């Protein structure tokens, strides 16, 4: 909790003002029964109207002060709690942005979303309540007991006994509630997860007629959430009756012994009324307190979930002594006995890979599905670190370069083209924020997507995404390539990103890319694409089986010949062999 509340530091002054205003309200509330006792004892019982008017007038004045303090307090409480929530969300988002994939593997996406939204809202509400009423309730209890002791200490003893017992009980409830509400938030993660998967895969669900299955899955997750919430609330539900039982018992005792006191001269009627009034206010405050306890228990669980993310150690960072200015200009890549396995797994997906890609050359990577092509790719922009071996860029160990500098010079097009909501122009400029319209149009032309964009209703200003135009798979691929090209990268990485393109468009695209003079890595299943490359890497089961030019592999590699035959037919392959 402490870590989270450190986010309140910038709002120290506003918090102090809010607390001061809350105290003003509290003092007025505590003075009310005292003033009432004065009206009864000095005014009503003695028939002195002036005393009634005097004390009544003071009461009205104080009420106005309390009203003004309450309204102003709300303004400050809202400002502080909303800003506090905003800062935590910002902090969480920033932290998640710097997560490595190993960090990500510890937190399911749906859970991160719940933490950023619902969990932050829980503690935000608790801060608002704290500044508005949370401290008021316990202070009202303590103040009420003190004031009752001042009015008549013998009668007030009944409150002195009951209140601490209840206080301890409520602390126990909060501890227990914390654990129960943590489980509630986890079940909420589950519901969010089903929702996320369902909405993301709605086409597949409809095509496979899996609606009923999905409804059942959602129902199951939702029921678990309901059961866990009921379980947590049950604890809270027993709190209130226990609280009322003890406090009403105390009030009865005050009335009983108060009546005896009035008849034998040990107490005055006004005193009894005042103490009963304090007891009623304390009961009200304790009832509010039980709600607050519930909110606090929930906030405690949420705060833990948020600090888990904030305190997560990022494992893929710059070396301490990394040369932040060091940069590379050529883009030559060398893999030196590289082995790699994904975090938290035992099986290596790449083993002892060594090859060189000269700066400005094109390297095609081929291999069966699951061979490790994408995994190899992801090591170059350091999305993961290698387990063994070294990757060098222009002769320098990749880890000696700052991540920022490294990634800034890489244009990466993942296997699945991902566009963001926004215009076509924004999607391309996502690769380089300050890209001019001319640059954007040029890269779109090179990526062979300009003509398509030109036919869109608002051309480069057309909005893409859920509420905008949807593009075909191949169009999305080309837009993603344009986004990578706009960076003018030294290393361009296309992970099967031309799979949806016809041969003619692909050839034009690859020819246009040549002028960028970057080192290009291209994962492909098509021999027609690979044969244009300076070097082809054949990957099988995480190992580099063969490497060389198309001509060399066609002459020496049985596997490559088979792939070639499967795509061009035996006749052509034999003809080529004979020709050689």
How many contiguous H segments (helices) and E segments (strands) does the chain have? 22, 12
- Residue 35 or 383 with smaller CB distance to ligand ATP: 383
The nearest distance, CB 21 to ligand ATP, in angstroms, is: 53
Least separation in angstroms between CB 371 and ligand ATP? 4
C-beta of 190 vs 372, nearer to ligand ATP? 372
Which of 333, 336, 371 has the alpha carbon at shortest distance from 352? 336
Name the helix (H) or strand (E) containing 414: none
Q: What are phi and psi of 334, to 5 degrees?
A: -135, 125
> Cβ 349 to ligand ATP, closest distance in Å?
4
Which residue's CB is nearer to ligand ATP, number 37 or number 365? Answer: 365
Closest approach of ligand ATP to the CB of residue 103, in Å: 13
Length of the chain in terms of residues written: 580
- Least distance to ligand ATP from the beta carbon of 499, Å? 10
**What CA dihedral angle connects 78, 82, 85 and 87, to 10 degrees?**
-130
What's the burial of 404, exposed, middle or buried (CB within 10 Å: 0-12/13-18/19+)? exposed
- For the residues of 46-66, what is the DSSP string, one character each? TT-HHHHHHHHHHHHHHHHHH
Q: Which residues make up the interface to ligand ATP (CB under 6 A)?
A: 342, 345, 349, 367, 369-375, 415
CA distances 499 to 128, 159, 473, 481, Å, are 54, 79, 9, 12
Residue with tokens 């869109």: 456
- The residue (of 375 and 427) whose beta carbon lies closer to ligand ATP is 375
Residues 259, 260, 262: CA angle, nearest 5 degrees:
65
Q: Which is nearer to ligand ATP, 275 or 492 (CB)?
A: 492
Which stretch of DSSP H or E encloses residue 351?
A: strand 350-357
Min separation Cβ 372 and ligand ATP, Å: 4
280's tokens: 């009623």
b/e 285-294 (16+ beta carbons within 10 angstroms → b): bbbbbbbbbb
Strand order in the sheet with 333-340: 350-357, 333-340, 388-393, 396-397
Phi then psi for 536, rounded to 5 degrees?
-120, 135
- In terms of CB distance, is 298 or 535 closer to ligand ATP? 535
Residue placing its CB nearer to ligand ATP in the complex, 201 or 343 = 343
Cα separation, 382 vs 491, whole angstroms: 13
- C-beta of 291 vs 342, nearer to ligand ATP: 342
**Which is nearer to ligand ATP, 273 or 376 (by Cβ)?**
376
Q: Nearer to ligand ATP by C-beta: 371 or 493?
A: 371
Cα-flanking dihedrals φ and ψ of residue 526, to 5°? Answer: -95, 125
Report the nearest approach of ligand ATP to the CB of residue 511 (Å). Answer: 25
Question: For ligand ATP, which is the closer residue by CB, 174 or 413?
Answer: 413
Q: How near is the Cβ of 423 to ligand ATP at its closest, in Å?
A: 30
Place of tokens 């005050």: 254
CB of 210 to ligand ATP, least distance (A): 24
CB of 347 to ligand ATP, least distance (A): 7
**CB 112 → ligand ATP: shortest distance, Å?**
16
Please state, in angstroms and as integers, the Cα–Cα distance from residue 435 to each residue in 36, 329, 430, 431, 516, following that order.
Answer: 73, 21, 9, 8, 16
User: How far apart (Å, rounded) are the C-alpha atoms in residues 132 and 125?
Assistant: 10
């Amino acid at each position: 909790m402490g870590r989270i509340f450190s986010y309140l530091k910038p709002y120290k002054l506003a918090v102090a003002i809010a607390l001061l205003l809350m105290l003003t309200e509290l003092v007025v509330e505590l003075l009310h029964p005292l003033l009432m006792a004065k009206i009864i004892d000095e005014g009503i019982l003695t028939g002195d109207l002036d005393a009634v008017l005097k004390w009544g007038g003071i009461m009205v004045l104080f009420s106005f002060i309390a009203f003004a303090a309450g309204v102003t307090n709300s303004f400050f409480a809202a400002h502080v709690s909303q800003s506090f929530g905003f800062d935590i969300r910002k902090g969480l988002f920033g932290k998640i942005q710097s997560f490595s994939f190993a960090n990500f593997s510890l937190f399911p996406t749906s859970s991160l979303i719940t933490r950023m939204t619902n969990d932050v809202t829980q503690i935000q509400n608790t801060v608002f309540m704290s500044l508005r009423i949370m401290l008021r309730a316990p202070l009202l209890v303590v103040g009420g007991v003190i004031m009752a002791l001042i009015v008549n200490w013998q009668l007030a003893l009944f409150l002195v006994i009951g209140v601490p017992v209840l206080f301890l009980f409520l602390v126990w409830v909060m501890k227990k509630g914390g654990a129960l509400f943590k489980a509630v938030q986890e079940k909420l993660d589950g519901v969010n997860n089903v929702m996320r998967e369902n909405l993301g895969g709605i086409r597949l669900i409809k095509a496979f007629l899996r609606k009923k299955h999905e409804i059942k899955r959602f129902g199951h997750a939702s029921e678990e959430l309901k059961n866990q919430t009921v379980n947590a609330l049950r604890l809270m539900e027993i709190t209130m009756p226990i609280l009322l039982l003890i406090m009403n018992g105390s009030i009865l005792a005050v009335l009983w012994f108060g009546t005896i006191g009035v008849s034998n001269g040990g107490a005055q009627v006004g005193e009894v009324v005042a103490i009963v009034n304090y007891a009623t206010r304390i009961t009200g405050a304790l009832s509010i307190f039980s709600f607050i306890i519930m909110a606090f228990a929930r906030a405690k669980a949420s705060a833990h979930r948020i600090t888990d993310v904030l305190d997560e150690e990022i494992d893929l960072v710059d070396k301490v002594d990394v040369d932040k200015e060091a940069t590379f200009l050529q883009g030559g890549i060398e893999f030196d006995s590289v082995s790699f396995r994904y975090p938290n797994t035992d099986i290596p997906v790449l083993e002892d890979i060594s090859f060189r890609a000269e700066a400005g050359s094109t390297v095609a990577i081929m291999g069966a599905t699951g061979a490790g092509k994408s995994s190899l790719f992801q090591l170059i922009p350091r999305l993961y670190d290698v387990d063994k071996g070294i990757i060098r860029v222009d002769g320098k160990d990749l880890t000696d370069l700052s991540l920022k500098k490294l990634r800034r010079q890489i244009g990466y097009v993942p296997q699945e083209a991902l566009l963001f909501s926004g215009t076509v122009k924004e999607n391309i400029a996502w690769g380089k924020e300050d890209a001019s319209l001319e640059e954007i149009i040029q890269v779109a032309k090179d990526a062979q997507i300009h003509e398509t964009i030109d036919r869109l209703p608002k051309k480069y200003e057309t909005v893409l995404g859920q509420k905008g135009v949807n593009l075909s798979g191949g169009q999305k691929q080309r837009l993603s390539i344009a986004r990578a090209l706009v960076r003018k990268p030294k290393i361009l990485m296309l992970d099967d990103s031309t799979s949806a393109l016809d041969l003619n468009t692909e050839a034009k695209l690859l020819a246009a890319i040549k002028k960028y003079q970057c080192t290009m890595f291209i994962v492909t299943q098509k021999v027609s694409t690979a044969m244009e490359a300076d070097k082809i890497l054949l990957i099988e089961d995480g190992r580099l089986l063969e490497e060389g030019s198309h001509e060399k592999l066609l002459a020496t590699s049985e596997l490559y010949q088979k792939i070639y035959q499967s795509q061009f037919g035996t006749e052509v392959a034999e003809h080529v062999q004979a020709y050689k």
